[in-house]
Structure 1
């Protein structure tokens, strides 16, 4: 192995218009020893559009070969090479290949840096019109209905604005599941084809967006959903505490999490709520 002086560069690529490419992207593409690309054909189109000639080795790095290709790229880094990682659009490792390589590089004390640039997550959040002071990124929802419903039930009480990616043909189903889990009146925005010619941002309550999506959606989709409103404080009497736990459980929250949340709202120890729910005066804390 080499002296570990290599550098891993995560480079953001345009999510729509090639003119949005950061100036450093062309420089890095031209000078990298290795360019790892999620799709080498899309890389070729990008370099042609940018008027760049890649002088280094080009290797594919996508979901199907990420595990096998990571050790090869790590070896190049440890041999002192500059490895540039690009995905089809946006920042590598954000719902795209890259995390495994970053983790391996960090573990071996390899410098990891980035070429900042376009991000569908931040772009959708900014144009959504929903609160941006606190937010979380949830990526793609599970494809199976049961798993999707459980994931959304866990997020029903999330106070931060939530950002999701979704395939166009599953957008209506995803919005319907969100309306069921979060309530039909929860404000949301569907951002389609961001920065592209047919960009569209549709805002409204989830029920309205479900009806709109029924006609079919095309293009890349990012969904932004407002967080849950502040919850009322829970009275500290036994009946109120038990009722509050039961209400959260009925909404899909696990009993353990419901007990923690109710104790927080009421300002009482978790042990007290646990004992009330389980009908005991003592016992271990959950």
Structure 2
């Protein structure tokens, strides 16, 4: 039973959520506005973010149960290991509880940000999936997750939007592109979808380069950021190349999974521009994510 619920929430993917929050806190610290992000606030918001992700994956499978019964009958709901009703109830709880956690940890701005993440999740899972708006909604869940991290320092997004929002926008675009590819995972045969995801990854790499030029990091920070973004390019580049060469479910699926886990490296690259500690704190989450991906599916 525990294994079924672990599959439902995509356990490996849960470890990709805290790096978003850590990146957001790093951006807030770099802006120099508001309170200094404390470990307690960042940790609490990371926990809220993880619950939000679990709610998103759970509701995704609950809404998709009829489709999965045809295309993925081994998933927890169509296989009968988890009831659809239980999935809806659990997913709703996973979205409501973190809003309260965020409020307790970092006040009203954090609760608002967590609520926006939850709203984007519901919009994608229940209303917009498969459409252009849906791809953007999925991307927005991760971009807003970064914004959630900035609330560890208060309402810095409202006080310094130009300095804060470009990075969440890059994360949004990257995940939207990956979601576009993922929507065609079971079909195969779409090199265009793989090319869109590759374009999103290339744009993200270029954005890290731009942040290095404009951010004036120290030598060590620059080296670490370059190392992380190079690792990101290698991590997603190999499976994307394989999927483009032969776009079938057996290659597209792993490419989607690699791109999802690769977000940890992208977050770490951006965070490293702000500080070595921020980058390492984000990047370390790749270890449990990859380890658990050997036992549980990422997509």
TM-score range, shorter chain: under 0.3
What is the TM-score when the length of structure 2 is the normalising length? 0.25
What is the TM-score when the length of structure 1 is the normalising length? 0.26
Higher strand share: 1
Larger radius of gyration: 1
